[in-house]
Amino acid sequence: MTTPVVAAGPRRRAAAFLHRHAGVRLSLLLSAPLAWLGLAYLGALAALFVTAFWSTDVFTGDVVRVFTWANFHDLVTGDVYRTVALRSVGVAVAVTAIDLVIAFPMAFAMAKVASPRAQRWLVILVLTPLWASYLVKAYAWRVMLSSDGVLGWGYGLTATILTLSYLWLPYMILPIYAGLERLPGSLLDAAGDLGARGWRTFRTVVWPLTFPAVVAGSIFTFSLSLGDYITVKIVGGKSQLIGNVVYDNIGAANNLPFAAAVATVPVVIMLVYLAAVRRTGALDNL
Amino acid sequence: MFPFMPDQAVSLRGLRKSFGAVQAVAGVDLDVADGEFFAMLGPSGSGKTTVLRMIAGFEAPTAGTVELGGRDVTRLAPFERDVNTVFQDYALFPHMSVLQNVEYGLRVKKVPRGPRRERALDALRSVRLEGFEGRRPAQLSGGQRQRVALARALVNRPRVLLLDEPLGALDLKLREEMQVELKAIQREVGITFLFVTHDQEEALTMSDRVAVFNQGRIEQVGTPAEIYERPATAFVAGFVGTSNLISGEAAVAVLGREGTYSVRPEKLRVVPGDGTPGPDEHSAAGTVREVVYAGPSTRFVVDLDAGGRLIALQQNLQVSSMDVMALRGARVTLAWHRRHEFPVAAPDPDPVAAGG
């Protein structure tokens, strides 16, 4: 009798082929996501950059597809745009700072103090606001901030910062929580055992080890704040941010090329931020 | 307190700890003398690590007191206590170099840079890690990390060094090396070592004294020889070494007495057939149920005619595996000297309800 050989059907042959050829396996897995990334993401970004160097016909409003530096010239020379850009960065920084101050103790309580049961509930509590509509939450703040509302502080830059801080808080809590979860509790015990009090333990052990997670969270709060225009429209009063300039140029002014040029500003700011952040190793935490 | 009582490094009185409904430590009294190498031995969940954490200050006791060098520290925070801990997972700070890890405690205590560096390098030398100052913990092997953790604790010259399963994460060969090394280091520095282990061999080879823990209580405290040769309870007899108990009707039939008795396996002599015991010996006939050949020795599992089962350990001085394997199923007589049998407290049927 011969040794029984398992019948080699086509599916089995394909599986065997894939098993032997790791490269083919990898490209099969990546083809769909890479196509999506290339077309939908990089393609759109490229289109944005190309459009930024076009202009519009003053009379017809049609896009003129001829290369020009005019949009960027206007952008750099116009004081209004510089003010708006700086204001936007200021708002993004303020929102990130406020969220960090609120998120860190919250994340620490969730990861290191609460019982496992309370921990689950706190995670749910943090996530729940994400299920509600962005628009509804922004309007809720408008109601609270209106002169006859609960807070009654009125609209403006402060209102924008408060509302954005509220909206993006979970995006700061969750990465920090994940970072603290990974921090072994024994390290905190060890610092105390070696004589360090709470603040020193935080400064020399907890903060350096969770800093990448903090940066990861700040990328969310910073970039989301930088690009926001809806909250600004709802509670911002007269203070415009970059997003509104883009939006108004697409809508009211019907100047898509200039809108594209303005939109490159937050992209560049984020690229600078990410380059700075890459050095901290925080991108490994995303 | 007696005026002539020697200094106690650690004194525990009526120590209890409950986590919700679970009583992890159910009343522990213990004195560890200055300079002792002391082991807390027990299975997992026996409360030994919780006791250690209460001495370090990581857990607050539900009741009872912790004294260090005669000073009540029960309510003090870890950073207020003159103890240092070597953690089971070493808990080295991953973002600091070996030297920075070792210097951490001195830096907290504001020791100036010069003496700080000197003491840290001294400590690294004492654990044979000179030349590793600049490495990160991730670049070290398990045994090296263990020694960094030891140096980081010792450099502070604590009154008591607490070690939580210090060798648990090492492989067998390294563990045996470190057992010898730890003992040597302790003798060198003269600091009280209090360590937790579930490994009975580790406890016996390293310690001056051992406390055997079971279900949140101490079953027995004594030197390794006392614990092994004269186990006070059936639990100790079983946990430290092999459980070899003669009890009930078998005790009456074989020893002519009631109660529970323990005989260590290596004290038993295996005589083929129906041998007659010597003048000071007891003996019991039985059938060899299993023969386990283990190189230098052989274990015989023998079912006694009188009931019960004993394990006998024989050195393979002359016999070869062929000879001993042939004994499976054979009739044998086990004989032992009377002085090697000890009465032990019978297993507690319901230890939780028994109260302390």
Instruction: Classify residue B12: in a domain, yes or no.
Output: yes
State residue B84's pLDDT score. Answer: 95
**Other Cβ atoms closer than 10 A to B154:** 24
Of the candidates B142, B163, B148, B139, the one whose C-alpha atom is nearest the C-alpha of residue B100 is B148
Query: What pLDDT was estimated at residue A120?
Result: 92
Is the Cβ of B314 closer than 8 Å to some Cβ of chain A?
no
Is residue A92's pLDDT more than 90? yes
Chain A residues with CB under 8 Å of a chain B CB are 184, 186-187, 189-197, 200, 204-205, 208-209
The number of beta carbons lying within 10 Å of the beta carbon of residue B325 is 13
With respect to residue A1, please indicate whether it lies within any of the assigned structural domains.
Answer: no
Record the tokens describing residue A141, joined without a space.
């703040």
Give the total number of structural domains in chain B.
Answer: 2
Asked whether the beta carbons of residue B104 and residue A189 sit closer than 8 angstroms, the reply is no
Question: Do residue A84 and residue A55 come from a single domain?
Answer: no
Note whether A195 contacts B156, CB cutoff 8 Å: yes
| Residue owning tokens 């207020």 | B80
Which amino acid belongs to residue A130? Answer: L
What percent of chain A stands above pLDDT 70?
A: 95
Whether residues A221 and A93 share a domain: the answer is yes
Domain end, chosen from B180, B201, B235, is at: B235
Final residue belonging to a domain, choices A64, A87, A105? A64
Number of domains into which chain A is organized: 2
Q: Does residue A238 sit within a domain?
A: yes
> Beta strands B37-41 and B192-197: pairing type?
parallel
Q: Are residues B152 and B250 in the same domain?
A: no
Instruction: For residues A41 and A172, state if they share a domain.
Output: no
* CA-closest candidate to residue B342, choices B272, B221, B259: B259
Domain closes at, from B235, B267, B295: B235
B202 located within any domain:
yes
Can you tell me the distance from the alpha carbon of A154 to that of A236, in angstroms, rounded to the nearest whole number?
Answer: 9
- If asked whether residues B68 and B165 sit together in one domain, one would say yes
Residue of chain A whose alpha carbon sits nearest to that of B83: A193
Shared domain check, A53 and A84 = no
Both B265 and B282 in one domain: the answer is: yes
Domain that holds residue A225: 79-285
Quote the CA–CA distance of B12 and B38 in Å, as a whole number.
14
Q: Output Rg (C-alpha) for chain A, integer angstroms.
A: 25
Contacts of A187 (CB under 8 A, 6+ apart): A205, A209, B91, B93
Look at A194 and B87 and tell me if their CB atoms are within 8 Å.
no
pLDDT at res. B18: 94
Give the residue from B103, B97, B92 showing the smallest Cα distance to B155.
Answer: B103
- Specify whether B85 is located in the same domain as B230: yes
CA distance A273 to chain B (A): 24
User: Is residue B352 in a domain?
Assistant: no
Complex prediction ipTM: 0.81
pLDDT of residue B108: 94
Residues in Cβ contact with B1 at an 8 Å cutoff, skipping those fewer than 6 apart: none
- State chain A's maximal CA–CA distance in angstroms: 94
Question: Do B170 and B266 belong to one domain?
Answer: no
Residues B78 and B141 occupy one common structural domain:
yes
With contacts defined as CB-CB under 8 Å, which chain B residues touch A195? Answer: 79, 105, 108-109, 156
| B125 and B264 within one domain | no
Same domain? For A174 and A234 the reply is yes
- Which chain B residues are closer than 8 Å to A204 by Cβ? 93, 104
Say how many residues make up chain B: 356
> Which residue is listed with tokens 């010898």?
B180
Q: Which of B235, B255, B287 is the last residue of a domain?
A: B235
Interface of B with A in 140-199 (CB under 8 A): 152-153, 156
Number of residues written out for chain A = 286
Answer whether residue B355 is part of any domain: no
Give the model's pLDDT for residue B347.
65
In this prediction, residue B1 carries a pLDDT of 44
Q: Chain A contacts of B92, Cβ < 8 Å?
A: 190
Q: Which residue of B has its CA nearest to A188?
A: B91
Residue A251 CA to residue B171 CA, distance in Å, equals 70
Nearest C-alpha in A relative to B80: A195
| A184 found inside a domain | yes
The pLDDT of residue B351: 43
Is B79's CB within 8 Å of A189's CB? no
pLDDT score for B324: 77
Of the candidates B92, B95, B105, which has its C-beta nearest A195's C-beta?
A: B105
Tell me, yes or no, whether A100 and A148 share the same domain. Answer: yes
What is the secondary structure of A166-234 as a DSSP string?
A: HHHHHHHHHHHHHHHHHS-HHHHHHHHHTT--HHHHIIIIIHHHHHHHHHHHHHHHHHHHHH--HHHHH
- For residue range B212-265, list pLDDT tens digits in order: 999 999 999 999 999 998 888 989 988 988 878 888 888 888 888 888 888 999
Rg of chain B (C-alpha set): 24
Which domain covers residue B287, as residue numbers? 239-343
Q: State residue B356's pLDDT score.
A: 31
Statement to judge: residues A53 and A166 lie in one domain: no
Smallest CA–CA distance, residue B260 to chain A, in Å, is 43
Distance from CA of A194 to the nearest CA of B (A): 5
Q: Assess whether B42 and B81 both reside in one domain.
A: yes
Low-confidence ranges of chain B (pLDDT < 50): 1-4, 350-356
Phi, psi of B268 (to 5 degrees): -90, 140
Q: How far is A216 from chain B (nearest CA, A)?
A: 18
Claim to verify: residue A207 and residue A264 sit in the same structural domain: yes
For the whole model, what pTM was predicted?
A: 0.81
Distance of CA B130 to the CA centre of its chain: 30
pLDDT of residue A285 exceeding 70, the answer is no
pLDDT at residue A214, rounded to an integer: 92
Q: How many CB pairs under 8 A join A and B?
A: 61
pLDDT digits (tens, 9 = 90+) for A38-76: 888 888 889 888 888 888 877 777 777 888 888 888 888
Residues A38 and A85 in one domain: no
Going by pLDDT thresholds of 50, 70 and 90, the confidence category of residue A256 is confident
- Give CA angle at B58 (B55, B62), nearest 5°: 75
Identify the pLDDT of residue B2. 47
pLDDT at B328: 87
Which residues from chain A sit within 8 angstroms of residue B109, using beta carbons?
195
- Asked whether residue B164 is domain-assigned, the answer is yes
Chain A CB within 8 Å of residue B97 CB: no
Question: Tens digit of pLDDT for each residue in A199-233?
Answer: 999 999 999 999 989 998 999 999 999 988 889 88
Q: What is the pLDDT of residue B301?
A: 93
Interface test with B, best of A193, A204, A209 (most B CBs within 10 A): A193
Q: Are residues B131 and B261 both part of a single domain?
A: no
Q: Is residue B350 part of a domain?
A: no
Together in a domain, B190 and B48: yes
B62 touches chain A (CB under 8 A): no
Q: What angle do CA B105, B109, B115 make, to 5 degrees?
A: 85
Based on the fold, state whether residues B265 and B224 are members of the same structural domain.
no
Residue A18 in any domain: the answer is: yes
> Are A174 and A222 part of one and the same domain?
yes
Rounded CA-CA distance A48/A266 in Å is 13
Structure confidence by residue, pLDDT tens digits, A150-201: 887 888 888 999 999 999 999 999 999 999 999 999 999 999 999 999 999 9
A170 domain residue, yes or no:
yes
Identify all chain A residues contacting B153, using CB atoms and an 8 Å cutoff.
193-194
Residue B260 sits in a domain whose CATH number is: 2.40.50.140
Using the beta-carbon criterion (under 8 Å), do A189 and B91 form an inter-chain contact?
A: yes
- Kindly report the CATH number assigned to the domain that includes residue B22: 3.40.50.300
Q: Which residues of B touch A186 (CB under 8 A)?
A: 87-89, 91
Residue A88's CATH number: 1.10.3720.10
Using an 8 Å Cβ cutoff, are B151 and B124 in contact?
yes
Please check whether residues A183 and A221 belong to one and the same domain: yes
Cross-chain CB nearest to A190 (options B91, B95, B109): B91
Does residue B135 share a domain with residue B217? Answer: yes
Are A224 and A266 part of one and the same domain? Answer: yes
Q: Do B87 and A186 touch (CB under 8 A)?
A: yes
Would the CB atoms of B85 and A197 count as touching at under 8 Å?
no
Closest by Cβ to A186, choosing from B91, B104, B105: B91
Give pLDDT, residue B171: 83
B93: chain A residues, CB-CB within 8 Å:
187, 190-191, 204-205, 209
The verdict on residue A3 lying in a domain is: no
Choose among A133, A151, A132: nearest CA to A141. A151
DSSP states of B241-261: S---EEEHHHHHHHHSS-SEE
